[in-house]
Amino acid sequence: MLSCAGADRLHTGMRGAFGNPNGVVARVDIGQVLLSIRTKENFVSKACEALRRAKYKFPGRQKVFVSNKWGFTPFSKDEYQQYKKKGRIISDGVSCKFIREKGPLDKIYKDINTVLES
């Protein structure tokens, strides 16, 4: 913007002023998980390749790991199968709920009559 005739400088306003955001960023700590996916066992190699290609879109050094957990649950594959067989796990969307041994017996055991007889 020119203020008067013959002005040799242009007024740029508050371009890049202190305190104004320039973009949107996410603060990430070292070792923090950026992305989690789940897939079937036969597609693990394709998923690793897709994540290997995607990691170049992020600044810094990224690593791709294959977890031994069952989906997004905190249980390993063996633990999940074992608890599921005992009826200690309830599906809850993409995760699951673990039924503890505390609380009412009818919530812990599905067939309460067999528990009371023994």
| Whole-angstrom distance, CA of residue 8 vs CA of residue 94 | 64
Q: Is the pLDDT of residue 116 over 80?
A: no
DSSP 99: P
Whether the CB-CB separation of 28 and 37 falls below 8 Å is answered with: no
Q: Is the pLDDT of residue 112 over 60?
A: no
pTM for this entry: 0.59
DSSP 25: -
Q: Is the pLDDT of residue 118 over 70?
A: no
For the chain, where are the alpha helices, taking DSSP H only?
Answer: 44-54, 77-86, 105-108, 112-117
Which residues are CB-contacts of 33 (< 8 A; sequence separation ≥ 6)? Answer: none
